[in-house]
């Protein structure tokens, strides 16, 4: 695996994530995905499905542009890991991110996590920033899975 290949895979995954999270995701999905029960699970599953499809599209676009092939098993495995990590964070009912913040509060992130009320600046809260940092970290893991090994 070359670092350039890994970087290219990461760039396409990240672009797909941004488009899927901020453009493709419907308002209903964004509003409901963290709600308890079947309604929340359904909304989150739909969001993660469109996220994964969007990332797959961006990976395919990158491969066509670069004239490169990726290992299909690695792509499927990487996208599955990313989908599970994304679902886990977006299902607020599970409380993954607040638990993570509390577990590693040596960095004083609880106050940061609670920054902003989500109404005045829904994309400017501490919780949103930590959510996105979680997703970006998992994008790096996903890129390593997909971009590693022979094509």
User: Under DSSP, is residue 121 helix (H, G, I), strand (E, B) or coil?
Assistant: coil
Within 67-107, where are the H helices?
A: 72-90, 96-103
User: Under DSSP, is residue 60 helix (H, G, I), strand (E, B) or coil?
Assistant: helix
Angle ∠(36,94,12) on CA atoms, nearest 5? 105
Domain boundaries, the chain: 3-94+140-147
Q: Do the Cβ atoms of 19 and 53 come closer than 8 Å?
A: no
Q: What is the pLDDT of residue 118?
A: 57
pLDDT (tens, 9 = 90+) of the chain, 151 residues, equals 566 788 999 999 999 999 999 999 999 999 999 999 999 999 999 999 999 999 999 999 999 999 989 999 999 999 999 999 999 999 987 778 878 887 777 667 777 777 766 555 555 678 888 889 999 999 999 999 999 876 5
């Amino acid at each position: 695996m070359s670092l350039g290949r890994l970087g290219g895979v990461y760039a396409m995954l990240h672009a797909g994530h941004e488009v899927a999270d901020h453009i493709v995701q419907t308002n209903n999905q964004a509003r409901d995905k963290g709600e308890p029960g079947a309604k929340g699970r359904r909304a989150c599953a739909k969001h993660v499905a469109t996220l994964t499809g969007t990332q797959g599209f961006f990976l395919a676009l990158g491969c066509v542009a670069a004239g490169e092939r990726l290992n299909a098993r690695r792509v499927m495995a990487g996208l599955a890991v990313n989908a599970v990590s994304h679902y886990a964070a977006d299902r607020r009912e599970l409380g993954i991110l607040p638990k993570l913040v509390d577990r590693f509060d040596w960095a004083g992130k609880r106050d940061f996590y609670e920054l902003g009320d989500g109404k005045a600046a829904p994309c400017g809260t501490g919780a949103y920033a930590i959510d996105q940092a979680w997703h970006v970290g998992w994008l790096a893991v996903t890129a390593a899975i997909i971009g590693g090994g022979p094509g």
